[in-house]
Structure 1
Amino acid sequence: MKNNFGQFNLKENILKAIDGIGFKKPTKAQQRLIPPVLAGRDLVGESETGSGKTHAFLLPIFNSLDPNADYVQAVITSPSRELADQLHKAFSDFQRELAKVDHAFASIRIANYIGGSDRQKQVEQLEKHQPQIVIGTPGRIKDFLKNNFLLVNQASFFVVDEADMALDLGFLPDVDAIASAMPENLQMLVFSATIPENLNPFLKKYMNDPVLEEIPSSTIISPTVNNYLLATKSKDKNQVIFDLLTIGQSYLTIVFVNTRKRAVELSNFLADQGLKNAQVHGGVEPRERRRLMRQIRNGDFQYIVATDLASRGLDIEGVTEVINEDIPSDLDFFVHRVGRTGRNGRPGIAITLYGPDEEDEVDQIEGLGIKFQPKQLKDHKLVDAKDRNRRKHRRITRKDFDPELHGLVEKKKHKVKPGYRRQIKEAVKLKNFRDKKISQRTAARRKKHK
């Protein structure tokens, strides 16, 4: 069966290589993004992780690449080492397939310049030959440009991947420095899950009448993912997570925590219980992190304890289960976390632990259109639990009755001190203000993900 990429008028060797990597039908993002890139337009593509946007620029780059030209033709920046490794793998995999049908591409050099790698070895290689395709983190690429090791004066493409993440991590000045070293007539492509307002000055500075393509998500969470909600109450979270991991249903589980310190604590606890696991967080040295990622991809670990460093754009094959120890402070990260499982139509499970003080956050997530199934641990099994919202469905006999405020009133009724009425009024005012803010945030998130 032929693939459907022929509609883009790609070269015959590119179409054969697409067959080789097993692609049959373009994703929604590829349908929208590939044509303007092939037309030579600058482009800003707003598309979420997992939409297929990598090949929306990979295919046009290879389609335009001159295998006989011994100079840098494309530069791609990535905000993290793991994402750069992922991009490098995608480009290298495609090159291997392309070389099978067109031997001229066998000698194409695809470099991956990231922090934590052997800088001196890379410098020595650059002194011998310049790569045709450069992938890397902004800091290392900027370093090589500043010292004239890397020459980009003839490049045709500059791709900024995950631009909003580069902004969040403070790498935009480095990306700016790279862009300023590029030729004026190159084609610039910027891809991002969102386009923050602070990114606009950079886009206006370097892009020439860009095409703006926003690829809406059909569903905020893959429909193949079952979202379970588990109340921890006063239970020890270490023990709860250990029990969840040892139920024995998962092939590969990522446990997400909110801080680096907590990742270390939980990882050590699980190791003490005999569960071999990998830690993925900002405190792990770059070389160690790359070694861990290779081991993870080789199937050496069944359990991963990670901070949100791993939730954004990191493609780990075969994740069957995600556990959120806490609800992240930025709810967008909840979407990124859960998006690690249920990829490519496969089933997945996402279990979110929550405490009594996180009811509002759960409401906000549900406001995004995510439906939770309440669960509880019983006899070392995950079984159905009562709906946390069941009280909301009871008949309320008094208008605007609020159980939380009713409890405050009942508490104050007996043995009251002077001024208790004023205290109740202030509590009502504070509660109303808080509910209004939650409503506004929920409405904003619903609008964002429409």
Structure 2
Amino acid sequence: MNRIQEIMKIEHFKEMTPIQKAVLERKNKNRDCIGISSTGSGKSHAFFMSIFDCIDIESQETQAVISAPTRELAYQLYERCKKIADHFQVKVKLVTGGMERTSSKIQAQIVIGTPGRMKDLFINENTLRLDTAKIMIIDEADMTLEYGFLEDIDIILSNMDKKIQMMVFSATIPQELQPFLKKYLTNPEIIQISSDEDFQSDVKHILVSCKHKDYKERLLDVLPCINPYVCLIFANTNSQAKEIASFMREKGYDLTELHGDLESRERYKSIKTIQEQKKTYIVASDVASRGIDLEGITHVISCGFPKDLNFYIHRAGRTGRVNRDGICIALYQENDRKAIKSLENKGIHFEERDIRNHQLIDKKSKVMKKKEDPIADDIARIKSKKTKVKPNYKKKQKEEIDRLRRKKRREMIRNDIKRQQKERAKQRQMEKRS
């Protein structure tokens, strides 16, 4: 069994995604390349497989460097990579801002980090050797450009081997990125995966007008209309994310927040909480629109639209994974109409909804067909309880019913995930027998 097959076995992959297949089946694997494919298409494992396919396990020097534009992305790449690295007994090191400073030398065969911190340790403090690396990966290149980190990468690369192999991965390649690519990539092979039906998610895009309310107030109207397993709520700025999170907590919602204004420890704690699926609601800035790979995000809510509309697409890409349906709700104000039109021109079909009796209904219709309620018997039992009428009894009844709905929804999704895991295990057994 070769290393690629071993990685697929470790990750329980039945087959490669199109971007993984295209990257690994290149004729010249030493040639620079640019991989362009949508969020959630498997780009990170495309370059992990490329690295482990050629790494010299006996050599202890740094052989591969992976750059990510945010601490959160670097951390998640590290967690995914370490699982594979432990299997092959390869040392991998995470290097990001906010970590404790060290005067000792950092040595690892694979280094994953943020551009600024890697530059400081490599150039300024001389505690990190990157000049021995044979391959450099730039993940989320468009986001790296957007956050202004190309200058740091430029400094790192100018102090590395001129023959280093460059692999750049991104959902989009903006025009402003071209000068950098021309400077550091030699005749790169461009791999662009536009779409593939086997890996497309079914995401429904819904518009809800804020009317006379602001985003956070309208958000509280929407939340009782949905019954999510995990709901990811996006704000356009860090301060807006903080404001929404605080407002929701005041109204009794238990949540996690993830944005750039959090201290490093808080951010890592939030990521761990998210990965362990401890909270139903996550309030985030666009730092979370890339890199979060979490089973069970059933709903994404955008409070307005980001300046760069590609980020809306990345937000929507957080749901509808593993061939399951997803719902992306966009709360909009009148000044968002231009953004909506632009996204429609990109091929996104929006359905406009209104709110009636805690339901999202078609704006053209005043009546919505009621689906059979899976907890109808439980509701009838709760309402028929012969108890002494106390203050706020209706509110308490509603809270109990809401708890039951959430429990039922989570149970259904958990069962769905277990079913898929059993199917994958059964498929693996059949493959072993054959």
TM range (shorter): 0.7 to 0.9
1:367 to 320, 323, 345: 345
- Of 91, 113, 116, 1:136 maps to 113
- The answer to whether the Cα contact below 8 Å between 1:36 and 1:43 also exists between their aligned partners in 2 is no
Query: Could you say if the C-alpha distance between residues 181 and 236 of structure 1 is closer, same or farther in structure 2, counting changes exceeding 3 Å?
Result: closer
Tell me what 2:14 maps to: 24
Give the conservation status (yes or no) of the 8 Å contact 2:256–2:273.
no
Partner of 2:104: 124
Alignment-derived partner of residue 295 in structure 1: 273
- For 1:199, the equivalent position in structure 2 comes to 177
Number of the residue aligned with 2:254? 276
1:30-429 superposed matches below 5 A: 30-36=20-26, 39-96=29-86, 99=87, 105-106=88-89, 108-120=90-102, 123-124=103-104, 126=106, 130-146=107-123, 147-218=125-196, 222-235=200-213, 237-247=215-225, 249-386=227-364
Tell me the TM-score normalized by structure 2: 0.79
After superposition, the Cα gap between the structure-2 partners of 1:16 and 1:153, relative to the gap in structure 1 and judged at 3 Å, is same
Helix, strand or coil for the counterpart of 2:314?
helix
2:95 partner letter = Y
Percent of counterpart pairs with the same letter?
Answer: 40
| In structure 1, C-alpha distance between the alignment counterparts of 2:216 and 2:176, rounded to whole Å | 39
> Offset at 1:169?
0.9
When residues 244 and 125 of structure 1 are mapped into structure 2, their CA distance, relative to the original with a 3 A threshold, is farther
Unaligned runs of 5+ residues in structure 1 are: 1-10, 100-104, 388-450
2: CA distance between counterparts of 1:205 and 1:356?
43
For residues 273 and 164 of structure 2, what CA distance do their matches in structure 1 show? Answer: 38
Query: Cα gap change, 1:265/1:22 in structure 2, threshold over 3 Å: closer, same or farther?
Result: same
SS of alignment partner, residue 158 of structure 1:
strand
Whole-angstrom distance in 1 between the partners of 2:63 and 2:343: 43
Query: Matches of 1:356 and 1:188 in 2, distance apart?
Result: 44
Change (3 A) 1:168 1:155: same
Q: Distance in 2 between matches of 1:247 and 1:233?
A: 17
CA distance in 1, matches of 2:364, 2:175: 43
The 8 Å contact of residues 201 and 322 in structure 2, kept in 1 or not, is answered as no
Alignment deviations for residues 377-419 of structure 1 (CA, whole Å, 9 cap, x no partner): 11112222228xxxxxxxxxxxxxxxxxxxxxxxxxxxxxxxx
174 and 360 in structure 1: CA distance in 2 versus 1, 3 angstrom threshold: closer
Q: 8 Å contact 2:105–2:128 — kept in the other structure?
A: no
- Structure 1 residue 161: Cα displacement: 1.2
> Where does structure 1 differ by over 6 angstroms across 4 or more consecutive aligned residues?
none
Kindly indicate whether the alpha-carbon contact (under 8 Å) linking 1:92 and 1:110 is maintained by their aligned counterparts in 2. Answer: yes
- Give the Cα separation in 2 of the matches to 1:290 and 1:149: 24
Once the two structures are superposed, what CA deviation does each residue of 1:266-303 show, in whole Å capped at 9, x if it has no partner?
11111011101222222112221111111111122211
After superposition, the Cα gap between the structure-2 partners of 1:38 and 1:66, relative to the gap in structure 1 and judged at 3 Å, is: farther
Asked whether the 8 Å contact 1:256–1:306 carries over to 2, the reply is yes
CA distance in 2, matches of 1:210, 1:328: 31
Look up the SS of the partner of 2:248 in the other structure. helix
Which stretch of structure 1 is more off in the superposition, 272-281 or 310-319? 310-319
User: What whole-Å deviation, never above 9, does each CA across 1:131-186 have from its counterpart, x for those lacking one?
Assistant: 00000000111111112211233221111111121111111111011111211222
In the alignment, is the contact (CA less than 8 A) between 2:201 and 2:321 conserved in 1? no
User: 1:74 corresponds to which letter in structure 2?
Assistant: A
Task: Quote the Cα distance in structure 1 between the aligned partners of 2:330 and 2:97.
Answer: 33
Do 2:215 and 2:304's aligned partners in 1 also have CA atoms closer than 8 Å? no
Q: Measure the CA separation in 2 of the matches of 1:362 and 1:248.
A: 22
User: Alpha carbon RMSD of aligned pairs, Å?
Assistant: 2.1
CA contact (8 A) 1:255 1:305 kept: yes
Structure-1-length-normalised TM-score: 0.76
Cα distance in 2, alignment partners of residues 282 and 356 from structure 1? 28
Alpha-carbon distance change, 341 to 186 in structure 1, aligned in 2, over 3 angstroms: same
In 2 relative to 1, CA 344–160 (structure 1 residues): closer, same or farther, beyond 3 Å? Answer: same
- Bigger radius of gyration, 1 or 2? 1
Residue 61 of structure 2 aligns with an amino acid whose one-letter code is: Y
Unmatched runs of 5 consecutive residues or more in structure 2: 366-434
